[in-house]
Structure 1
Amino acid sequence: MKLLLIEDDPSLQATLVRTLGRRGWEVATCADGALALQQWEAVQPDVVALDLTLPHVDGLQLLTTARQRGWSTPVLILTARGTVGDRVIGLNTGADDYLAKPFDLDELEARLKALSRRRLPVGAALASDSSLSHVSALGSLRLDAESGAAYQGDQVLDLPPRELALLQALLSRPGRAIAKEKLFDWVFPGALDVQYEAIEVVAYRLRKRLTGTGVKLVTLRGLGYLLKADE
């Protein structure tokens, strides 16, 4: 797996490069916020670990720009800003997970591995669950199996990372319910401080975004969610 580490602490950067490298990660680094987007585009990482306090360009500003460009690479924020307010701001900006410093290296790797699943082809990423099969289209919606991007006809659906992750999972099993527990693990991989009910918020937002696509997100009480084409 390929990691882009955007971190300006040389000691921490060296430790993570050494430790994760020994565990099979290919780690590229950047210590300057002004150069990070260029590095991000060049490396095409599976996951990004992003410090918030960077020289020249703040990490949140960097993340905002990346999401505005449509870059859906999963992002794990690493920072000493550990308050609830800071976590909320980071997640609302487009981060996928948040780990406050100091952190345990095993926990860091576990979270990175969970996030990197989103860069796998949809069918491969879900293949470990034998109950899910690879179906890439329903009605006017389809998924690019390589990038995971969602399309309505020929137009890319501009979806935030969590709604895209939920759509990927549901499109793998159209017309059949997937339990909330499985969807939560897919949408919030490795999250330790996210309430279970958060999956309901993501489902609500995705349902609104699917209006007019000819596909419905249906809630089945006690069973989970499914996608079905309008009749």
Structure 2
Amino acid sequence: MRVLIVDDEPELREQIALSLRQQQYTVDTAGDGALALEKVFADPFDLIVLDLMLPEKDGFTVLRELRAEGVKTPVLMLTAKGEVDSRVKGLDLGADDYLHKPFSMAELLARIRALLRRSHEQISPVLTIGNIRLDTNTRIVTLDNQPVSLTPKEFSLLEFLFYNRNRAISRFTMAEHVWGDAFDPFTMSNNIDVHIKNVRKKLNDQGGRIIVTVRGVGYMAKDEQA
């Protein structure tokens, strides 16, 4: 799971990031609103922890622009204690939950788990593009209703691309999602390309009709029906 922490307090930002990494989350951080938007639009996240008081662009502006662009990533908003109007405004703009400062790390982690659980419950366990059907519960992939045997890493890559259909995903993000901190940045690009080549072959997609190569970036699962 990829989480973006957006807060202009370096010490708090790194404290949250460390706690999440210890729970096996993949974490990125931003110290201002403009950088946060840049990162979200470049690569998908599973959840965003967003402080309201930010330089460049405040949390309200970030939230407004995310929702205006159709980004549905769950947002946990951090507010100062007693700021009822701010919490109401944030929720009206599309925040999914809020937590006021100061907070315990245990409560923050619990709220993150709840938001991620709620988010994934709303997503159908079966993902379909064209004649390819991927069941995230049974981890079975079929092509024209015939089962296709994928390795665990191949399945995870295909699942990640299908979840983010019609969105270019960088090789770095794919490696980070599938291998976590264990991937080697020196062999990452070639490793991803080899796995994608194998998936395409098994899905009879050697021409890249569904798993499209995005030059200079990585790959995209193209769904013309979406």
**TM-score with structure 2 length normalisation?**
0.53
- Decide whether aligned partners of structure 1 residues 120 and 24 sit closer, same or farther in structure 2, where only a CA change above 3 A counts: farther
Contact kept, 8 Å, 2:37 with 2:62, in 1: the verdict is yes
Write the letter of the residue equivalent to 1:42: A
CA shift for structure 1 position 33: 1.2
Identify the residue that residue 105 of structure 1 maps to in structure 2: 105
CA shift for structure 1 position 123: 3.4
The SS at the match of 1:123 is: coil
Write the letter of the residue equivalent to 1:94: G
Identify the residue that residue 218 of structure 2 maps to in structure 1: none
| Pair 1:27 & 2:27 matched | yes
CA shift for structure 1 position 80: 1.6
Write the letter of the residue equivalent to 2:17: V
Identify the residue that residue 44 of structure 2 maps to in structure 1: 44
Percent identity over the alignment is 42
| Pair 1:75 & 2:71 matched | no
CA shift for structure 1 position 52: 0.4
| Pair 1:146 & 2:163 matched | yes
Contact kept, 8 Å, 1:120 with 1:146, in 2: the verdict is no
CA shift for structure 1 position 43: 3.2
CA shift for structure 1 position 34: 1.7
Identify the residue that residue 85 of structure 1 maps to in structure 2: 85
Identify the residue that residue 16 of structure 1 maps to in structure 2: 16
Contact kept, 8 Å, 2:77 with 2:98, in 1: the verdict is yes
Identify the residue that residue 124 of structure 2 maps to in structure 1: 123
Write the letter of the residue equivalent to 1:71: V
- Decide whether aligned partners of structure 1 residues 62 and 146 sit closer, same or farther in structure 2, where only a CA change above 3 A counts: same
CA shift for structure 1 position 82: 3.3
Q: Would you say how many aligned residue pairs link Structure 1 and Structure 2?
A: 133
> 1:111-151: CA deviations, max 9, x gaps?
111212315772349x9xxxxxxxxxxxxxxxxx8369xxx
- Decide whether aligned partners of structure 1 residues 81 and 64 sit closer, same or farther in structure 2, where only a CA change above 3 A counts: farther
Identify the residue that residue 131 of structure 2 maps to in structure 1: none
- Decide whether aligned partners of structure 1 residues 105 and 77 sit closer, same or farther in structure 2, where only a CA change above 3 A counts: same
| Pair 1:55 & 2:72 matched | no
Contact kept, 8 Å, 2:32 with 2:57, in 1: the verdict is yes
The SS at the match of 2:57 is: coil
Write the letter of the residue equivalent to 1:122: I
Which deviates more from structure 2 when the two are superposed, residues 32-41 or residues 4-13?
32-41
Alpha-carbon distance in 2 for matches of 1:109, 1:21: 11
Structure 2: 5+ residue stretches without partners: 127-134, 136-161, 166-226
Contact kept, 8 Å, 2:44 with 2:164, in 1: the verdict is no
Contact kept, 8 Å, 1:28 with 1:43, in 2: the verdict is no
Write the letter of the residue equivalent to 1:45: F
Write the letter of the residue equivalent to 2:76: L
Alpha-carbon distance in 1 for matches of 2:111, 2:5: 14
Contact kept, 8 Å, 2:33 with 2:62, in 1: the verdict is yes
> 1:203-228: CA deviations, max 9, x gaps?
xxxxxxxxxxxxxxxxxxxxxxxxxx
Structure 1: 5+ residue stretches without partners: 128-144, 149-231
RMSD of aligned Cα (Å): 2.8
Alpha-carbon distance in 2 for matches of 1:13, 1:22: 14
Alpha-carbon distance in 1 for matches of 2:82, 2:75: 16
Identify the residue that residue 7 of structure 1 maps to in structure 2: 7
Structure of higher CA gyration radius: 2
Contact kept, 8 Å, 1:4 with 1:43, in 2: the verdict is no
CA shift for structure 1 position 110: 1.2
